[in-house]
């Protein structure tokens, strides 16, 4: 039986703006087991990154984590003080951000920034920390490591910076890595190399990974399980095979349909009609109803709960409730 490492329970993260309250993470539930890669999928603005930032307790005003629990090894992160959080971040949980240039400090060398977590969280001397950094850079496929230690972020390419971020994330042997779209700005060759590095880390060290992306090609390559988010809510969850072979939610089906297929000619790529709704004006109904070709009256009246289709597959859609089945609806 799988052992949960991270359990997000009923997470509610809201941003209070002059245009109203935006429920970016709306009663979200996600579990990451030990040694598992879970991909969090959805369009931009669906709440993926906010959920990740909430795990690290990095939400700042006007954002507020209003409710729920984030259990890491059965300890609720949301109840930790600043000192305990500093010990957790970078040590037990590490994060790889989407844009390494903005995540790294431009006035400090790569070496200084790589050595900082080692000196803070371990008992290594400066010389030992330096040697560890060289080892980590070589592990992620970087060369001229001693020169890189003296370099500044602006002197490196995007691919090199992302490898540096992975090396920093690995420095204290974390139990969980949160990777927030780490390959978005990279060309396909570098992207493939980064994904391979993360898979090797997962396999060799049994490090759990929560991988956030909108790229279904990356999901197919990386995931053990997939969690699909839409408008701040989880709408479907299952193993990677279940999501790709038997998707249930119309939104998941739309995402898969929109993915280009090699050697298949298409005059025009499929797009899901409409846009992600304004999260400040949502009511008590299915948030996908305005974009869904299977819409029924009940979709505009009540929010479907996340219900199990199997032991590993669940979906939040009225098409899979008892009443619509009696009507003979198919999807």
pLDDT of residue 228: 97
Q: Most distant CA pair in the chain: distance in Å?
A: 71
Task: Provide mean pLDDT across the span 135-163.
Answer: 92
Instruction: Name every residue whose Cβ is closer than 8 Å to that of residue 322 and which is 6 or more positions away in sequence.
Output: none
For 45-85, how does the pLDDT look when each residue is reduced to its tens digit (9 = 90+)?
899 999 999 999 999 999 999 999 999 999 999 999 999 99
User: At 325, is the pLDDT very low, low, confident or very high (cuts 50, 70, 90)?
Assistant: very low
User: At 128, is the pLDDT very low, low, confident or very high (cuts 50, 70, 90)?
Assistant: very high
Q: How far is CA 220 from CA 111, 240, 309, in A?
A: 35, 7, 21
pTM for this one? 0.90
Taking 60 as the threshold, does the pLDDT of residue 33 lie above it? yes
Taking 60 as the threshold, does the pLDDT of residue 328 lie above it? no
Kindly list the structural domains of the chain, giving each domain's residue range(s) and its CATH number in brackets, ordered by start.
Answer: 4-92+174-326 (3.40.50.300)
Taking 80 as the threshold, does the pLDDT of residue 277 lie above it? yes
Taking 60 as the threshold, does the pLDDT of residue 324 lie above it? no
The mean-pLDDT minimum among 95-99, 181-185, 232-236 falls in 181-185
| Cα 27 to Cα 12: distance, rounded to the nearest angstrom | 5
Based on the number of CB atoms within 10 Å of its own CB, is 205 exposed (0-12), middle (13-18) or buried (19 or more)? Answer: middle
Q: How far is CA 58 from CA 29, 78, 143, 205, in A?
A: 18, 11, 33, 26
Do 139 and 195 meet the contact criterion of CB atoms below 8 Å apart?
no
Taking 70 as the threshold, does the pLDDT of residue 259 lie above it? yes
Task: Provide mean pLDDT across the span 219-230.
Answer: 95
User: At 282, is the pLDDT very low, low, confident or very high (cuts 50, 70, 90)?
Assistant: confident
| Cα 100 to Cα 161: distance, rounded to the nearest angstrom | 6
Taking 80 as the threshold, does the pLDDT of residue 298 lie above it? yes
pLDDT of residue 323: 43
* Average pLDDT over all residues of the chain: 90
Question: Any idea what the Cα angle at residue 72 is, between residues 66 and 78, rounded to 5°?
Answer: 25
Query: Which spans in 56-187 are helix H?
Result: 82-88, 100-103, 110-121, 126-139, 145-149, 158-170
For 158-189, how does the pLDDT look when each residue is reduced to its tens digit (9 = 90+)?
889 989 999 999 899 999 999 998 887 678 88
């Amino acid at each position: 039986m799988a052992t949960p490492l991270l359990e997000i329970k009923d997470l509610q993260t809201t941003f209070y703006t002059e245009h109203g309250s935006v429920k970016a993470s709306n009663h979200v539930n996600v579990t990451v087991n030990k040694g598992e890669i879970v991909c969090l999928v959805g369009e931009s603005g669906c709440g993926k990154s906010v959920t990740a930032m909430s795990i690290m307790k990095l939400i700042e005003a006007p954002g507020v984590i209003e409710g729920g629990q984030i259990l890491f090894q059965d300890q609720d992160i949301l109840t930790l003080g600043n000192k305990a959080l500093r010990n957790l971040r970078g040590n037990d949980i590490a994060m790889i951000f989407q844009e390494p240039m903005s995540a790294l400090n431009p006035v400090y060398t790569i070496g200084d920034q790589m050595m900082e977590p080692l000196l803070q969280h371990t008992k290594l001397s400066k010389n030992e920390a330096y040697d560890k950094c060289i080892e980590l850079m070589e592990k992620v496929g970087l060369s001229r490591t001693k020169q890189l230690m003296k370099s500044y972020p602006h002197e490196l390419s995007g691919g090199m910076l992302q490898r540096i971020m992975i090396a920093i994330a690995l420095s204290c042997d974390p139990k969980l890595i949160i990777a927030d779209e780490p390959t978005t700005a990279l060309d396909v060759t570098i992207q493939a190399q980064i994904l391979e590095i993360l898979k090797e880390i997962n396999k060799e060290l049994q490090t759990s990974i929560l991988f956030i992306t909108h790229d279904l090609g990356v999901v197919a390559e990386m995931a053990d399980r997939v969690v699909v988010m839409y408008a701040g809510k989880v709408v479907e969850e299952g193993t990677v095979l279940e999501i790709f072979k038997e998707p249930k939610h119309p939104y998941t089906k739309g995402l898969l349909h929109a993915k280009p297929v090699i050697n298949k000619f298409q005059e025009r790529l499929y797009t899901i009609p409409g846009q992600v709704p304004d999260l400040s004006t949502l009511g008590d109904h299915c948030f996908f109803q305005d974009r869904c070709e299977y819409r029924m009256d009940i979709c505009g009246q009540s929010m479907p709960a996340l219900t199990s289709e199997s032991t590993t597959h669940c979906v939040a859609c009225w098409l899979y409730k008892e009443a619509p089945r009696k009507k003979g609806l198919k999807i």
